[in-house]
Amino acid sequence: MSKKIAVFGMGYVGIPAAALFADVEGFTVVGIQRRSKRSGWKIDLLNKGKNPIGGDEPGLSELIERVVKKETFRVTDDFTECKDADIILIDVQTPTDENGIPHYESLKEVCKQIGQNMKKNVLIVIESTVAPGTTDHIVKPILEEYSGLQTGIDFSLAFSYERVMVGRLLYNITKLPRIVGGIDEESTRKALNLYRNIVHAELHSTGALTAEIAKVVENTYRDVNIAFANEIALMCESLGVDVFKVRELVNTLPNDPSNPSTNPVRNMHFPGAGVGGHCLPKDPWLLKFGVDTYGKFKVEPNLIVTSRKLNLFMPMHMIDLLEEGLNEAGIKLIDAKVTILGVAFLENSDDTRNTPSKPLYEELKKKQAKPVLHDPYVREFEIPFTKDFNEAITDSDAIIIVTKHKDYFNLDLSKIKNKMRNPILIDGRNIYDKEKCEKLGFIYKGVGKPH
């Protein structure tokens, strides 16, 4: 007997999840997306079997085309379509503001819509990242208030977070272990059964709160590790040593083969021009918000907050390196044409969420420089940018590499040098070799490189 799945939120998480389930025998999937200015256009595109997600996403376009053709996947803005759904996935945005406070307008609105329409015995799964305590204290009460039904008795509720990354959305959903946390054991059991259909890796079951914490800790752990690498990079710059050599040597320390679990491997992360995306800049604040709001006692997350601030500082450090390069060339920053390579926050993607290029661009503007943004993948951005590389670097006084797009790997630096006004290269992603660049006549400065 065919089961109906309704997926709220056609974004980087909702679209691949919906398409994967729609490709499983016995499921029909309806995507529910507000016809908003920002995302409404995706509805018609998806219903034509087209993939609205740009950049390289292996297998996603073919999958969407296939499930739309076999009519197991369609998209609508009519949220009452969830009234006969057996399973409902919540994949809406859960942003935080500049003070790290989560804004759950979309989440609350969708929970109200689901509550007003859901049927008994439905399984509801939150996949969006939320502050610990949100499933129990925000989602559950709204669903019960608007449905008049009781969680765990009339319907099931679980939290099971995504581990998607742009550039490998399908791989990360199907091949990475998944954590499933129910509001009760029956909810966990039902959710495990659901994900067995698309996850070809280990499923780990736990409670909803533990799963919520695991998600934000997973990203906070990465953010703190990146901050550590960035701090070491600044120290190496001061000592005049290449941090990437240091990192390489540090990561040679082997795991303790006799007792691997007690001695985790060394995995110093990569320092760089900044930390962007929808997850790492936000999840540490969601973790803090959860403890501040639902915790039994106050905990001041000094390490986590300091790390976040250090990662926010890195785009500004790019300007320090730039000003040093310009000084060496005897050029003022005022009116200097500065080419910023990369608008996306992650390589080979079109995803600009919380990109480090934005604060870098804005600070350069404030300093009366003339920054120009370039990106080969991005389609739209709140700040004007160009896809024309030649236009971006012609008569430029300096190039700053922010995103590790493969397009920036084997640039013909001699040719570029002849087109620039001043050959200055600021490398925020360790793409180029300092000595080679200097031999070509560039002033080269890099994060974590000797000055």
* Candidate residues 199, 211, 280, 331; the one interacting with ligand SAJ per rule CB under 6 A: 280
- Minimum Å gap between C-beta 222 and ligand SAJ is 4
Report the residue number, 42 or 269, with the smaller CB distance to ligand SAJ.
269
Contact segment (CB under 6 A) with ligand SAJ among 2-10, 235-243, 268-276, 360-368 equals 268-276
417 forms part of the interface with ligand SAJ (CB under 6 A): no
270 forms part of the interface with ligand SAJ (CB under 6 A): yes
165 forms part of the interface with ligand SAJ (CB under 6 A): yes
State phi, psi for 398 to the nearest 5 degrees: -170, 145
Report the residue number, 102 or 423, with the smaller CB distance to ligand SAJ.
102
Residues 6+ apart with CB under 8 A from 96: 102, 103, 282, 285, 286, 289
Tokens 């240091």, located at residue: 246
* Candidate residues 194, 275, 331, 399; the one interacting with ligand SAJ per rule CB under 6 A: 275
Question: Which residues are catalytically annotated?
Answer: 215, 279
SS3 52: coil
- Minimum Å gap between C-beta 32 and ligand SAJ is 21
114 is written with which tokens?
């689901």
Relative to beta strand 73-76, strand 27-32 is parallel
341 forms part of the interface with ligand SAJ (CB under 6 A): no
Report the residue number, 50 or 103, with the smaller CB distance to ligand SAJ.
103
Cite the DSSP H helix spans in 208-353: 208-239, 243-250, 283-294, 302-329
308 forms part of the interface with ligand SAJ (CB under 6 A): no
**For 412-421, which contacts have Cβ atoms below 8 Å and span 24 or more sequence positions?**
413/437, 413/440, 413/442, 414/440, 417/441, 417/442, 419/390, 419/393, 419/394, 419/395, 420/393, 420/394, 420/395, 420/396, 421/337, 421/395, 421/396, 421/397
- Minimum Å gap between C-beta 276 and ligand SAJ is 4
* Candidate residues 132, 207, 276, 325; the one interacting with ligand SAJ per rule CB under 6 A: 276
What is the distance between the alpha carbons of residues 191 and 129, in angstroms, rounded to a whole number?
A: 17
Applying the rule CB under 6 A, the residues between 41 and 80 that interact with ligand SAJ are none
* Candidate residues 3, 83, 163, 168; the one interacting with ligand SAJ per rule CB under 6 A: 163
Contact segment (CB under 6 A) with ligand SAJ among 2-10, 178-186, 271-279, 416-424 equals 271-279
User: Which DSSP string corresponds to 395-446?
Assistant: T-SEEEE-S--GGGTT--HHHHHHHSSS-EEEESSS-S-HHHHHHTT-EEEE
100-139 footprint of ligand SAJ as x/- string (CB under 6 A): -----------------------------x----------
Contact segment (CB under 6 A) with ligand SAJ among 73-81, 102-110, 163-171, 286-294 equals 163-171
* Candidate residues 272, 376, 428, 446; the one interacting with ligand SAJ per rule CB under 6 A: 272
Contact segment (CB under 6 A) with ligand SAJ among 85-93, 269-277, 366-374, 409-417 equals 269-277
222 forms part of the interface with ligand SAJ (CB under 6 A): yes
- Minimum Å gap between C-beta 273 and ligand SAJ is 8
Report the residue number, 94 or 117, with the smaller CB distance to ligand SAJ.
94
Bridge partners, residue 427, by sequence: 401, 446
Instruction: Give, as one character, the DSSP assignment of residue 182.
Output: E
* Candidate residues 346, 416, 425, 447; the one interacting with ligand SAJ per rule CB under 6 A: 346
Bridge partners, residue 76, by sequence: 32
155 neighbors 124 (Cβ within 8 angstroms): yes
178 forms part of the interface with ligand SAJ (CB under 6 A): no
219 forms part of the interface with ligand SAJ (CB under 6 A): yes
218 forms part of the interface with ligand SAJ (CB under 6 A): yes
Closest CA to 271 of 307, 240, 228, 239: 228
What is the distance between the alpha carbons of residues 279 and 161, in angstroms, rounded to a whole number?
A: 12
Angle between helices 208-239 and 302-329 (to 10 degrees): 30
Q: Which residues bind ligand SAJ (CB under 6 A)?
A: 129, 162-166, 218-219, 222, 226, 269-270, 272, 275-277, 279-280, 345-346
